[in-house]
């Protein structure tokens, strides 16, 4: 038998409606149960912590303004909201992995012969071109300054 808690047993807490509408009381009353439910859903303590933090932050900012005893059981509303938080964290993790993979594909691989050297050559070329432009701008703005002209001549005619 698994020692992992079962999701419905985790949030088997009676609804305290005054706590639902006061974010700080809500966090104190439900945070532990929410964290345990997220852990049961995600099977990863780090992801569960992230989802809990984001969910409780949203509760602190927005609360549960639409929750009311005549609109159904709060437990089901809460479970749905927490599941949505789990989905959001998983989607964010997937986007981050995709972004990391795209960055990895875009950067030159060290294992390809000459790739790093070509990258450094291009980077140096951009840095030098930027420096030439700054020197030229400085010369145009400073009367009597011939630094850009002299350096260009010395490079062209060593």
DSSP 8-state code for residue 125: H
Give a yes or no: residue 2 inside a domain. no
Same structural domain, 31 and 98: yes
Instruction: Dump pLDDT digits (tens) for 47-72.
Output: 999 999 998 888 888 776 676 666 77
Prediction pTM value: 0.53
Give a yes or no: residue 1 inside a domain. no
Residue 97 is part of a domain; what is its CATH number? Answer: 1.10.1740
Please report the pLDDT score of residue 118 as a whole number: 81
Q: What CA–CA distance (Å, rounded) separates 74 from 96?
A: 33
Same structural domain, 121 and 100: no
CA distances in angstroms from 53 to 17, 80, 101, 112, listed in the order given? 22, 17, 26, 42
Count the residues in the chain.
Answer: 158
Q: Which domain holds residue 59?
A: 7-106
As averages over each run of 10 residues, the pLDDT of the chain (158 residues) reads 48 60 76 92 93 89 71 80 92 90 71 74 89 92 89 89
> What is the tally of structural domains in the chain?
2
Please report the pLDDT score of residue 121 as a whole number: 87
């Amino acid at each position: 038998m698994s020692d992992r808690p079962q999701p419905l047993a985790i949030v088997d807490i009676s609804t305290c409606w005054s706590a639902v509408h006061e974010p700080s009381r809500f966090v104190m009353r439900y945070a532990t149960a929410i964290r345990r439910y997220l852990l049961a859903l995600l099977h990863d303590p780090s992801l569960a912590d992230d989802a809990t933090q984001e969910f409780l932050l949203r509760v602190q900012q927005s609360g549960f303004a639409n929750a009311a005893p005549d609109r159904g059981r709060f437990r089901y509303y809460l479970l749905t909201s927490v599941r949505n938080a789990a989905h959001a964290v998983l989607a964010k993790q997937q986007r981050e992995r995709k972004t990391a993979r795209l960055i990895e594909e875009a950067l030159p691989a060290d294992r390809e012969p000459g790739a790093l050297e070509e990258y450094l050559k291009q980077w140096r070329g951009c840095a030098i071109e930027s420096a030439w432009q700054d020197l030229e701008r400085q010369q145009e703005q400073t009367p009597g300054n011939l630094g850009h002209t002299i350096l260009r001549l010395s490079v062209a005619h060593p």
